[in-house]
Amino acid sequence: MFTLIWTAEAKAAYDELKTKAETSLASRRKKGKVKSSIDEGLFKQVHKTLMLLASNPKHPGLQTHPYHSLAHPYDPKQKVLEAYVQQQTPGAYRVFWCYGPEKRQITLIAITPHP
């Protein structure tokens, strides 16, 4: 298992997605609806991606690969990686991350729709 380290940007994005999902869930329950909202589904997908990342960053479902447009926050010679949250979806979400700063740690740089 890896420990997840959060940048302020990644934590803010995660918290915003979580708040939207919780608000949507409360509204849905109040109205007696059964079907989950888009916000709930997106948060569930992001959370699952983070759990897979923490347990196995090379999990095939993450489709992890280097992303060259972001600088590594600890060592400019190291790679920033991109993991898929969604596929074949307009504005599909991605998690940008890197290894470090210590062994068995992953730093979450950003959680965002694909640029």
Give the pLDDT confidence score for residue 115 in this predicted structure: 66
What fold characterizes domain 3-113? YaeB-like fold (3.30.2310)
Whole-number pLDDT of residue 89: 85
What is the per-residue pLDDT across 18-55, written as a single tens digit (0 to 9) for each? Answer: 999 999 999 999 999 989 999 999 999 999 999 999 99
42 burial (CB, 10 Å; 0-12 / 13-18 / 19+) is buried
Confidence class of residue 4 from pLDDT cuts 50, 70 and 90? very high
Domain residue extents for the chain: 3-113
81: pLDDT strictly greater than 80: yes
- pLDDT at residue 90, as a whole number: 85
Q: Taking a C-beta distance cutoff of 8 angstroms, is the pair 64, 82 a contact?
A: yes
Q: CA separation (Å) from 34 to 39, 45, 102?
A: 14, 19, 43
